[in-house]
Structure 1
Amino acid sequence: MPGRRIGARAFVVAALGGLLVGLVGGAFRWCLAHADALRADLLEAGAGLGPAGRLLPVVVTAAGAALACVIARRVPYAAGSGIQHVEAVWRRQSDALALWLLPAKFAGGVVAIGSGLVLGREGPIVHMGASVGALAGHHTHQDPEDTRMLHTALAGAGLAAAFTAPLGGLLFVCEEVTRSVRPRLVLLTMVGTVAAALGCRLVVGDAPVLPMPGLAVPPTWSMPLFLLLGVAAGVLGPAYSALVVHTLETVEGITRIPPAAKAAAIGAVVGALMTVEPLLGGGGNELSERLLTGPLPGIGALLLYFAVRFVAGPLSYAAGTPGGLFAPLLALGALLGTLTQALAAPALPAGAPGAAAFAAVGMAALFTGVVRAPLTGVVLVLEMTGSAPLLIPLVLACFAAALTATRLDSAPLYDTLRHRMLQRP
């Protein structure tokens, strides 16, 4: 099978399917952008109504979480990220579910993430992309192996659409989903991710997700600082992964309360946090952009953001709604990098890299510490930010994060989530 040639039809299916994934992913991002704007207006309106008005975001976020939970429970595997299900299908541990998964992920994800839960858009788009791949393979009468490859390849197209990162989508498929480099799959994924990125641009434009101002190449003497940042991310990554799993188990273990009610309670907590500070909720894109471009909060605010979002991300994931882990994780990494620079700044000489460089490197490093996919982390951040001068610091930090997390005997998060998914009825 590995040496079997790919016919032209498979490339056409991957291209057209990738284009559709890009349009769906772009529409999903468009809906979330408008939901974010509505949520900001709601928070502003609530603040203007006095103490009673502060309950408005709490009620709305609780209702959104409950509704998204109800939607997700109607369709198997619709809750959570979905990446673990994509990996299980590739390993022939589960079947691809396509028809009802698309609307459930789309509607549930918009409601959950749009209402302010600390979840990412990439999980639902990856899962929807995989579903498009399975449907495309089935309806064009591809053989089972090519259908499985299209399912996986267009999952990578989903990541490309989520972050406008076609190379990141390709590496994600090879490094995280399949942990192999198969020529047929690589070619199909290349076609799918490029088509998805182009399709998504038609909806949301072609600007980088997190554009950064011009950066100078960090001086050689500063490389040990980025290496230490990677070590810190490698320590915090396993802790974050363990908290995600522990929170899931704790919430699922409360069986006397209906799932929708538990989701509403979690939504109310997140809504209350947003009344204190809007950046404590949501996927984290606005927070990441602020850390990369300024103005920067003080050290006290950075510590608050980090501590609260470190807990709020796993708590939101335990609500049982559609939503991913990548985007909140990237924001948390940006906070880690910014904090590192802020604490070290008094001792650094002139010409030291600024906070933006540490924030970008922290994003990739903490991603690597949790997911254990260093190449994907490096390329994803490069494509999202356009920060090519940070290539060497990114590689060093992700190497240190992956090595440290592995030495701590911590399993990659999606491996653990996949095993949990397969053990549940």
Structure 2
Amino acid sequence: MANHMDVHAPKSLLGGAMIIAGTTVGAGMFSLPVVGAGMWFGYSLLMMVGVWLCMLLSGLLLLETNLRFEPGASFDTLTRESLGRFGRIVNGLSIAFVLYILTYAYISGGGSIVNHSVAGLGLELPQSLAGLLFALVLATVVVISTKAVDRISTLMLGAMIISFFLAIAQLLLDVDTTTLFQPDGEQRFAPFLWAALPFGLASFGYHGNVPSLVKYYGKEPAKVAKALFIGTFIALVIYTCWMLATMGNLPRSQFSDIIAQGGNMGVLVAALTQVMSNSWLASMLTLFAHLAVASSFLGVTLGLFDYLADLFGFADDGKGRLKTALVTFVPPTVLGLLFPDGFLVAIGFAALAATVWTLIVPGMMAHRMRRADPGYTGFKVPGGKAVILLVVAFGILTAACHLLAMAQWLPVYA
């Protein structure tokens, strides 16, 4: 999502927290009930709390490093100064990969939800074509200007909040406690947690905004830390309500059918709208899905667009922006045409690369900076080396879980 940071405006704590929450919550949340179906609600909640804690700690470690530099220092500057040229390159490549693969994920998810809506009108549209139309319309907004993305994202955010709470309210009221706490099917839950872990990590990706908050607030560690805590906690509450609403209304066995159909956004939304008694509120859920994937696409692709323009030195004129657009949008759009149902797979790969720049790199930077200046008296994350080891180890564990699941060495619910 676009950031609305006016350095001359009052620096409210709520403003910073909402920036973090708005960046964190997006279309990726539609993967959570699908990948969490195996371990079901209890273990899903346990996993999400653990992921939230580790991702919050890694954000605080990044803040610690950031505060050793002047406000305005970018993530790229932090890695270059603390980890050297090699660390900077690895971090940059991991960020670029995450942005590219998420762009593809949102084209896949967007095509799926567009296809679901078109089918509701009695029309048939190949999902690959739906994804292409989705990408073309929103890519045009990104190419026009950052201001266009900012304005549209602001409108989308307001509509997302309204549509989400209208739809989720009915689903929460209709939760069946038997379905939630006594699921049908195989009574085996905990082993499925490990393969789902990367998707939990992908749901808390806000770290690129930490330098922006330091620039926004200045060197006020307490305020930035509180904004990170409140913003990520809001995201955790939203995810909990979402899993409660989905797993409390759809039996566990039905998720096997959803997964068999690709596990994409449109399939999940179609299943949920069928159990909603109020058709108008069901349409609110569909609207929320459209807005969530569209705003996620705009936020991610704007970052990728600017990153690639800077990397290749393309001018900020019509010809230059067209060149940047081709480099930004053609590769993921081609993937969307070839593999239209790759939403879940793409989110998993995004998590694999995100372990580098959201967990391992922040831990390594904090370690290097502490060792280089042991007498530093500024902000430090409590817990000493243990916290750094926890964060880095969690990153390695999450990456290993994704690779092991791909190799079919971990149980995956289907």
TM-score normalised per structure 2: 0.30
